[in-house]
Structures are given as C-alpha cells and as structure tokens.
Amino acid sequence: MLEIYTDGASSGDPGPSGVGVVIKNGKDIYEYMEYVGILSNHETEFHAVIKALEICSKEFPNEILSLRSDSKLVVDVIEKDFTKNQKFQPLLEQIQVKAQSFPYFFIKWIPEKQNKNADRLARRAIHEHK
C-alpha cells in the first residue's frame, strides 16, 4: 500500500498555482511537483489529487492507494462522491475515473503540519515557474 500526500498552493486566489505529491512506498520516498496555471486554492487541491493518481497509474499500477490531503473540502467531495460546484464537478469526475484503475483507493484528511513536504513542493513549483 502506498501512502500519498498531496497539496496545492496558489499565490493569490485565483493565482499562479502548483501541486506537490509525496509518495511513500515502504522506505522509498518519491517527490513530484508541477506548475498547474492560474487556479483557485480549492481547484489546485483537486489538481494535486489528479496528479497523484496520474503518477501512480504510470509508476505504481495496481497498488492500493492511501491518499492524504489537508483540504477538508477535497476529502469531503471525494468521500461523498458529489459536489454541486460546477468548477469542481469535472475535477471530481476525473478523480473518479482515474481511481477506478486501482484495486482500492482511500482518502483521508490530515492536518497541515503533517503535510509539510507536499506543501513545500507545491510552493516550489510556483516559485520555479516565475
């Protein structure tokens, strides 16, 4: 089972945005970051989950995923499998489709202090883009 930490950061809301993904596979740790354009804070958090699923489908297919995010909104939307927000709906649909390729996909909310590495990567993605 992989432990995956995701975070999104925006410089402004909306503003330049980056995502950070940290994947723990036993003792091995993999870090990824990507600039994702001009987005709101919440949209960026969804994009971080999408990026994590894309990485895992390529690098770790057929693994059990235990994803952690410090965004209560994103965790709630994914757990309930529903949102009324028109901006979030297509993002949720992407997550639903991508998650289906794994035998199990869990998501859990964690406090910000437990997500510092993913946050650092997301902020670095913005900084390096400038």
The pLDDT assigned to 42 comes to 97
- pLDDT, tens digit, for every residue of 8-51? 999 999 999 999 999 999 999 999 999 999 999 999 999 999 99
Domain ranges of the chain: 2-129
Please give the CATH topology (third level) of the domain spanning 2-129: Nucleotidyltransferase; domain 5 (3.30.420)
The pLDDT assigned to 130 comes to 76
**What's the CA gap between 105 and 53, in Å, rounded?**
10
**What's the CA gap between 81 and 93, in Å, rounded?**
9
Q: How confident is the model at residue 72 (pLDDT cuts 50, 70, 90)?
A: very high
Q: How confident is the model at residue 127 (pLDDT cuts 50, 70, 90)?
A: very high
Rg (CA), the chain: 13
Q: Residue 38 is encoded by which pair of tokens? A: 């001009």
**What's the CA gap between 29 and 50, in Å, rounded?**
19
Are 48 and 22 within 8 A, CB to CB? no
- Average per-residue pLDDT for the chain: 97
- pLDDT, tens digit, for every residue of 80-125? 999 999 999 999 999 999 999 999 999 999 999 999 999 999 999 9
Give the predicted TM-score (pTM) of the model: 0.97
Give burial (CB, 10 Å; 0-12/13-18/19+) of 12: exposed
Task: Give the Cβ contact number of residue 68 at 10 Å.
Answer: 21
